[in-house]
Amino acid sequence: MLRTGVFIDPECLLHDPGNGHPESPQRMQTLLQLLRRQDVRHLPHTMFQGRLATQLEVQRVHTPAYVHRVQQTEGLRVRLDNDTMTSARSYEAALRAAGGAVAATEAVTAGQVDNAIVLCRPPGHHAEPDRSMGFCIFNNVAIAARHAREVLGVRRIAIVDFDVHHGNGTQTAFLHDPSVLYISTHMHPHFPGTGAATEMGEGMGRGRTLNIPLGRNHGDAEYDAIYGSLVSRVLEGFRPELILVSAGFDILSSDPMGGMTVTYDGVLRIVGHLVNAAELLSKHRLVMVLEGGYTSEGLEQGVLASLEALTQTIRVSDPGPLVRLPLGDAAKYLDIYREFFTI
């Protein structure tokens, strides 16, 4: 079994967008209660509390003007965009979410644990360098990746995003960066409207973005084939030294913000394939960071399945050849990706 770290900070409860908002403090309450359950406590893991991200860490991704704007919301209720509202201590909670991702990345890179999962909120992958978007304030995964690259000396980083929504902010942050590979599966067309298969990175970063847009109602079989074959092959071609994962449990069938039909077993296999890739390519170094997931049932299933895969309590086998998967529009671009990766 692998040594897995669970990073959670109750201070993330401080962010409260208001009554009826899907990204509510109840999400964190659900996670705190889940970690007390016997079926979770018996899994081999070590608990960690995160920390506040520093201004420098956040500003490796976000502009000083945007960070200052968020800081100015302290003590206030401010609408940052149509979907994202702050409360009195949202700035602190957002720093805690980003800091947890950085702390987990430090622990995994230092060998303190083999892999980790960061249970935080607000989520991050929609946050652009200069603005909030889609419930997201700071881009937690992108901040962790920049820290790994610029402070920890990690040369090649893969970010894999299985949230039902495309991580436009993460894609933007690394659009020109050849040292960071961004892979996303997401429902398309769907919020935020980005993530077409033709979006492949720009300049020196061309070929370092792989978008796999999917229609509605895809489930375990499709995700198993995608992650066990295509994603695994692209990761092998890139050979990352660290894998970061934007874990969106809004792909589960119970989620009102989704549209997919993934089950507990589907999440287990998605994460299991990524754990297998990390074992082969990055000395087990993998950090999952929570993104979406807006029902208690979906969060519980997603986190428990992820922990079973991360600890290798349940091991996942190869799903078979790539041809199992009807890739749709993404299939048209495989010949282009063969210029960059062994597929």
Q: Evaluate if residue 202 carries a pLDDT over 90.
A: yes
Using the 8-state DSSP alphabet, how is residue 229 labeled?
I
Mean residue pLDDT of the chain comes to: 93
User: What is residue 225's predicted lDDT score, i.e. its pLDDT?
Assistant: 87
CA–CA distance, 189 with 248 (Å, rounded to integer): 17
Task: Name the pLDDT band for 1 (thresholds 50, 70, 90).
Answer: confident
User: What is residue 341's predicted lDDT score, i.e. its pLDDT?
Assistant: 52
For residue 54, which phi and psi values (nearest 5 degrees)?
-85, 165
Based on the number of CB atoms within 10 Å of its own CB, is 237 exposed (0-12), middle (13-18) or buried (19 or more)? middle
Share of the chain above pLDDT 70, in %: 93
Q: Evaluate if residue 340 carries a pLDDT over 90.
A: no
Q: In DSSP terms, which residues pair with 312 in a beta bridge?
A: none
- Is 186 among the catalytic positions? no
CA–CA distance, 120 with 291 (Å, rounded to integer): 8
Characterize the bridge pairing of strands 4-8 and 209-214: unpaired
How confident is the model over 257-271, as a mean pLDDT?
96
pTM listed for this prediction? 0.94
List of domains in the chain: 4-337 (3.40.800.20)
Q: Evaluate if residue 130 carries a pLDDT over 90.
A: yes
User: What is residue 128's predicted lDDT score, i.e. its pLDDT?
Assistant: 98
CA–CA distance, 232 with 209 (Å, rounded to integer): 15
Q: Evaluate if residue 321 carries a pLDDT over 80.
A: no
Query: In Å, how far from its chain's centre is CA 80?
Result: 22
Active-site entry in 15, 45, 126, 147:
126
User: What is residue 317's predicted lDDT score, i.e. its pLDDT?
Assistant: 84
| 133 close to 86: Cβ distance less than 8 angstroms | no
| Cβ neighbours for 323, distance < 8 A, ≥ 6 positions apart | none
| 333 close to 200: Cβ distance less than 8 angstroms | yes
State the alpha helices, DSSP H only, in 178-230.
Answer: 220-225
Q: Helices (H) and strands (E) in the chain — how many of each?
A: 12, 8
Scored b (16 or more CB within 10 A) or e, 89-100 reads bbbbbbbbbbbb
Q: Evaluate if residue 248 carries a pLDDT over 70.
A: yes
